[in-house]
Chain A
Amino acid sequence: MINNIIEMFSYTFILRAIIVGVLVSLCASLLGVSLVLKRYSMIGDGLSHVGFCTLAIATVLNLSPLLVSIPITIIVAFLLLRINESSKIKGDSAIAMISSGAMALGILIISTTTGVNTDVSNYLFGSILAMSNTDLYISVISSIIVLVIYVIFYNKIFAVTFDENFAKGIGIKVNTYNAIIAALTAVTIVIGMRIVGSLLMSSLIIFPTITSMLIAKKFKTVTIIAAIISVITFFIGIYISYSYNFPTGASIVLINILFYLVFVIINKVKR
């Protein structure tokens, strides 16, 4: 097994995927705590489908997929946030509408131009082969920016997540911080979906938090444990994917589910 791991690290493309994967897992799990607790999980799911659509557009226009997707997805994130807060249509239905609409548009664009090829299935299901050098740089820089902003605003994000009304009442610009959370989520999703795929990306956001909440009772501990779980499951997932030639995204998600079930059992036994 150790030989296997050493061998795995010797491939540049896997090394790239691992660097980006670890950073994205961290971002997704940290933001995930806030998104799950604010009942925004579906925004993550919606954004990953929008990300698919924008990647499709970028491919057809022959532009850099990340440079097109990141700004558009951020804009849609703001839109989803607004809809969630103020729409007459129920927030979750509105998100489902945008999400399937974006998916449909993406599929239509691709099937009328390039056809459903490996590239497309990479976007849907993720691939560690998909990462170019430019992608690597953009992904690393963006996810480090996401992490730094998260740490700087950690206390504000906590207050806004726990009690929006109180935060508003004492003069905190709640909408600004919600927008920051949404923008960071958008960036994380676009970067992460290259590895795990747009269909599975939201699980990177949701699972670590849900699992972590089974054992931790403080916000800070939940956040830290979610980050640890997220990185560990990523490593195990990518190792299994490499060793048995399984799809990467699916492996990571299934390992996450396994972790969740193990924690549920531990929790039951403890009581």
Chain B
Amino acid sequence: MKNIIEINKVSLCYQNNKVISNMSINIEKGDYVAIIGENGTGKSTLIKSILGLKKVDEGKIKFNYLKRNEVGYLPQKNTSQKDFPASVFEIVLSGRLNNLGFKPFYTKKDKEIVIENLKKLDILKYKDKSFNELSGGEQQRVLLARSLSSSKELLILDEPVTGLDKKTTEDLYKIIKELNIKDKMTIVMVSHDLESAFEYANKILELKKEEYTYKKVEEYIHEDNCDFCEEEFDD
């Protein structure tokens, strides 16, 4: 398989504390990687570095087959969007921004891609609705459609299900899995929800203090040293 992201001997700091040291992993095309670990272990820091928002302190993160701006990104929930007046179409269209370059306006093709993505996530009916009139799950779908509009290859999701109820969470996970299987998109997702991580991802990246484990899900679950799995699967 082809490596889409190569993380080579990377060390990262968060507020002057080293959170990741000497990490070397490859993310292959078509992978679904769940990044798990307790708070403060550097999950979001790692994602920011992959996106190029944060400088890598040591080592190198290399992208193959796609440029850094060809990534789809779903950031953590942002409360300031609550009363923002914007239609679903306007928001999803803004995902095409990385394809705009120096052109000031979107083309017909941009709009077609957006419609296609709205259909794919079953939210075409909300196209002209206001974002803040939608439910939490619908809003996340809109933001997912926006990320899809910026990339056909790679989605980076930072805790996409925070604050959603069980049913909506499951639906969203299924959609993401479908994108992974049907559209062969590579998924990198930060998750607090271990059960779903084990169910849907094919690889687990567990971060501990300055240490990490990167394994296929099957191998990860069968390891004895896995602290999380037992408590998760006992009940």
Contact = CB atoms under 8 A, between A and B. Distances in A.
Interface stretch (A13-21, A73-81, A165-173): A165-173
A76 B183 CA distance: 49
A166 B146 contact: yes
Contact of A154 (B73, B95, B104): B104
B35 to A, nearest CB: 16
Interface stretch (A111-119, A155-163, A234-242): A155-163
A162 B71 contact: no
A124 interface: no
Contacts of B233: none
B73 A218 contact: no
A166 B87 contact: no
B229 interface: no
B34 interface: no
A222 interface: yes
Contacts of B115: none
Interface residues of B, number: 39
B136 interface: no
A25 to B, nearest CB: 20
Contacts of B78: 163, 165
Nearest to A223: B85
B80 A170 contact: no
A90 interface: no
B73 A217 contact: no
A208 to B, nearest CB: 13
A82 interface: no
Contact of A169 (B73, B90, B100): B73
B130 interface: yes
A219 interface: yes
B51 A155 contact: no
B104 A219 contact: no
Interface string B73-117: 111101011011111001101110110100011100000000000
A193 B94 CA distance: 34
A147 interface: no
Nearest to A163: B78
A151 B105 CA distance: 9
Contact of B75 (A37, A166, A172): A166
Interface in B141-180: 143, 146-147, 150, 156
Contact of B98 (A162, A172, A220): A172
B130 A169 contact: no
B120 interface: no
Contact of A158 (B68, B94, B146): B94
B98 A171 contact: yes
Nearest to A156: B97
B75 A218 contact: no
B107 to A, nearest CB: 12
A171 B101 CA distance: 10
Contacts of A217: 85, 87, 130, 133
B84 A162 contact: yes
A167 B98 CA distance: 8
B130 A218 contact: yes
Contacts of A170: 69, 71-73, 95, 97-98, 150
Q: Which 5 A-B pairs have the closest CB atoms?
A: A171-B69, A169-B73, A217-B130, A165-B75, A159-B94
19 contacts: A37-B84, A155-B93, A155-B100, A162-B84, A162-B86, A163-B78, A163-B94, A166-B147, A169-B156, A170-B69, A170-B95, A171-B69, A171-B71, A213-B85, A218-B86, A218-B90, A219-B87, A220-B90, A221-B85
Given A170-B73, A170-B97, A171-B52, 10 more contacts: A37-B84, A155-B94, A155-B104, A158-B86, A165-B76, A166-B143, A167-B94, A167-B97, A217-B133, A218-B130
